[in-house]
Amino acid sequence: MSNTKYSEEHEWISVDGDTVTIGITNHAQEQLGDVVFVELPDVGSTISKGEDAGVIESVKAASELVAPVSGEVVETNSALEDEPGKVNEDPENSAWFIKVKLSDASELDGLMDVEAYKSFIA
């Protein structure tokens, strides 16, 4: 994941051309505790930066997946809805949430790189 960006909402955004894969960071899953429910947006729906794009519930709290970028949802990891525990096991890899076709690639500029994110959570 060489070209990976991070949001202040503790999401990772892996960039591949004009499509990005979005998940939550290991730090986020540690803070949430055991994830018990995941709700994903519909494929084909449009998400807008800063708005809710899904729901993540843990034994501690219910929170939203906040869209770090805007665009069209082209794929979702529906396995998470059946097995939300994957988010705790492999958050930064197989437990990705959604893939989005960017509508405004410049939104990536406002995200953090890995070094900036590390100091953000330190």
Partner 1 sequence: MMDSEATVYELSVPGRPGVSLPLLDVPETSFPDVPLREELRLPELSELDVTRHYQRLSQRNFGVDSGFYPLGSCTMKYNPKINEAIAQMAGFAQTHPLQSEDSVQGNLELICRLQDWLAEIGGFDRVSLQPAAGANGELAALLMMRAYHKDHGEKGRTQVLIPDSAHGTNPASTSMAGFDVLEIPSDERGNLNIDALRSACDDTVVGIMLTNPNTLGLFEEQVREITDIVHSCGALVYGDGANMNALTGIVQPRDLGIDLMHFNLHKTFSTPHGGGGPGSGPLGAAGPLCDYLPGPIVERRNRDGGGYCYDIVIPDRSIGRTCTYFGNFAVLVRTYAYIRMLGAEGLKQNALHAVLNANYLRVRLQEAYKVPFDRLCMHEFVCEGVATGTGVRAIDISKRLIDYGFHPPTNYFPLIVREALMIEPTETESKPTLDAYIEAMLMIADEVRKAPDVLKSAPHTAPVGRLDEVKAARDLKLCDPTIFT
Query: Looking only at residues 63 through 102 of this chain, which bind partner 1 when binding is defined by CB under 8 A?
Result: 84-85
Output the smallest distance, CB 11 to partner 1, in A: 17
Handedness of CA 75, 61, 7, 89 (dihedral sign): negative
What does each C-alpha distance from 46 to 29, 38, 57, 69, 115 come to in angstroms? 25, 18, 22, 11, 30
Stretch that binds partner 1, among 19-27, 53-61, 89-97, 105-113 (CB under 8 A): 53-61
Please select the residue that binds partner 1; options are 43, 60, 104, 110, rule is CB under 8 A.
60
Confirm or reject binding of residue 121 to partner 1 (CB under 8 A).
no
